Chain A
Amino acid sequence: DGGITQSPKYLFRKEGQNVTLSCEQNLNHDAMYWYRQDPGQGLRLIYYSQIVNDFQKGDIAEGYSVSREKKESFPLTVTSAQKNPTAFYLCASSIGGSWNQPQHFGDGTRLSIL
């Protein structure tokens, strides 16, 4: 079945540690996105990529980094510079730009600080 796979489902980070969240899609979508969800808030865009080897900062990119070396993969690294990383992270993809296409989402990764 086509879809988006995020791993791991739960992740714990120690102080000063970088952690990487995986996102893989087999939908042949060009665009991929990372969102952060905090309790009682909507989704906030961290980074997005419209094409391989290119990505753009979203609204809350500080303390995060991404890469897009393959069409199928868009990993997110939460660096030690992100002082409040505890949140639910969602990866999404769409056929083209988000403006008129629905985004398809993965199951999410819940990140907590040890």
Chain B
Amino acid sequence: AQKVTQAQTEISVVEKEDVTLDCVYETRDTTYYLFWYKQPPSGELVFLIRRNSFDEQNEISGRYSWNFQKSTSSFNFTITASQVVDSAVYFCALSEADNTDKLIFGTGTRLQVFP
């Protein structure tokens, strides 16, 4: 069955520390997409990145980077030199070609960055 696990419920760091948010997924499908969303205190989910199952290249966008490893079914998200504005809940999500109606979310990781 398809599933997304974010084992870290809450992480606290001090500003400028690097932090990695883990995401492990389960799927029988060979074609799928993985997503990361950020939910700031205001409530809306903000799309951060999409990665398809055939593209294992890591991606870097400013202070954000993502590591996709099919061998371990993981799609981890690293924030370098964290800032207070990074404080939010981060969700990892999975979408499968054989189950096109659903986006399956993990339970989220709350990141608190202290000054």
Residues of A within 8 A of B (CB): 33, 40-43, 45, 48, 56, 58, 88, 90, 92, 97-100, 102-108, 110
Contact = CB atoms under 8 A, between A and B. Distances in A.
Given A43-B91, A100-B95, A102-B35, A56 B50 contact: no
A56 B101 CA distance: 9
Interface in B83-115: 91, 95-97, 99-103, 105-108
B95 A42 contact: no
B106 A42 contact: yes
A66 B45 CA distance: 22
Contacts of A33: 103
Contact of A40 (B47, B96, B107): B107
B97 A106 contact: no
Interface of B: 4, 9, 33, 35, 37, 42-47, 50, 52, 91, 95-97, 99-103, 105-108
A99 B95 contact: yes
Contacts of A58: 102
Given A100-B50, A102-B50, 6 more contacts: A45-B103, A102-B35, A105-B46, A107-B44, A108-B43, A110-B43
A88 B45 CA distance: 12
Contacts of A108: 43-44
